[in-house]
Structure 1
């Protein structure tokens, strides 16, 4: 019987994206690398736990849940989350930022200063600029002020981010245009907390870091993992938790958060040939895929079966 592994998620390091596994194993990813795995036959997806702790009941969870947690573990995770207002007394300094994911897709958010741009990489921000820094509650009040005054959200669904990645402007200056304008409006607003220091506009662009420059359009996104399924292909881009893989059926986007809680096994190279790929080393797809449709690439759930 093949050895099974459990993925704990995708992390971004200074060198790029890294898949993390139970036991501390790490799989650095680079553009052009083959990424392939199968889901153990007869397996079920179990709760990934919270805050480094295993789920006490190993609850079975939905295959389509991005969080991969049962209700109790999700509640525990939120209780200690700054993003969910679960922490009010964190003494660390925080930064407020504006992030751009595509035309019309701008959000405001906060992150701990010590994390640098890791939060922006995790979210798949194509470009961003800092707005200011200060204590947590001052950063939170500023975030709320800007959200209301600039009419920008603090969350953007990943489906919307994925839908525009193949049609992003080619020039960095154009990609930074929306947040440049919003930054100028933001610093002119009254009502900023006195303890928050404003920062000048400086766009940081992740287009090449993610490998999105010139990336072909994806045909769709993996909607869930299933027992006995498999996916494999060449990594053409990675943004946030998403891997863009060139499979035998075309380029698909895999949200690595869907991998948590499953027992995953190695996929033999020859499987690609059996699934119709020209190169057995590069393509296999036996998972449900939600196809992208429409001129803006909006996702429409047209297929629920396996390829």
Structure 2
């Protein structure tokens, strides 16, 4: 079965987002720029993206609303090699523990491979973060568990909650203050449940509001629920955070315009055909209110 170019999602190796593309063994990357147009249409059915860089042997069709875009077998294989699944207990690499802030009261603790730097934080859409410590995988995992319990913070925050607060972020000083306070509480635990093999790192708060474009972009009020065959997404990129692209669309507020969020995890597995943003003015995909309202008529 021959396919055209399929999106593999957004990556943040640096301070700008990049869209990945695959067609068989071929790979491409599109660097995105705020103020630039983005336009494509979905073709046919959505297929499994495979696991660990391998093509799905079944070419399975997957749900249009799945953010993983994997069939059950490929999902199992992918998770079997995941740090989050605690299946790599003998991993010799160094890991870092971090605090990530997504909005008022939305803070999580997590771990990432040291060699990846802050890419994992950008991929999650962390507006502010600070490193806490570094060391072996199991020491990092143990510290993560201790901090979750002591600070009362989770290790996961749903993207729907992140989007709901992203348009109402406080100023930089206020959002940094919450991370500084939690870092102080975490540091007090050193020697009391904090593994000796995990080195505590000094406070170094980083704010991503600028590179995400959130401090200057209009507030997004709706998000794409799913793609459909023939559905078209067209808009001007005004901000991005993690896998989410914030697109300004034509029309006045309440008339099909405003800013809409596209979770690029929903477009993986689709064959996408380029659409000229300047030429498309009658395009539709289903949308849903970010604040938790009902589904609206599709518009872009």
TM-score after normalising by structure 1 = 0.90
Partner of residue 111, structure 1: 112
Partner of residue 10, structure 1: 10
**Aligned equivalents of 1:103, 1:206: Cα separation in 2:** 15
**Aligned equivalents of 2:197, 2:136: Cα separation in 1:** 7
Partner of residue 205, structure 1: 207
Larger mean Cα displacement after TM superposition, 115-124 or 78-87: 78-87
Partner of residue 70, structure 1: 71
From 21, 24, 29, the equivalent of 1:26 is 29
Shift of 1:113: 0.7
Larger mean Cα displacement after TM superposition, 134-143 or 160-169: 160-169
4+ long deviations beyond 6 Å? none
SS in 2 for 1:83: helix
Matches within 5 A, 1:138-287: 138-170=139-171, 172-189=172-189, 190-248=192-250, 249=256, 250-269=258-277, 271-273=279-281, 275=282, 285-287=283-285
CA RMSD of aligned residues (A): 1.4
**Aligned equivalents of 2:183, 2:294: Cα separation in 1:** 36
Q: Which runs of 5+ in 2 are unaligned?
A: 251-255
**Aligned equivalents of 1:133, 1:88: Cα separation in 2:** 16
Partner of residue 286, structure 2: 288
Partner of residue 38, structure 1: 41
Shift of 1:269: 4.1
- Please say if residues 35 and 237 of structure 2, whose CA atoms lie closer than 8 Å, have aligned partners that are also in contact: yes
Partner of residue 306, structure 1: 298
- Please say if residues 166 and 218 of structure 1, whose CA atoms lie closer than 8 Å, have aligned partners that are also in contact: yes
**Aligned equivalents of 1:228, 1:90: Cα separation in 2:** 44
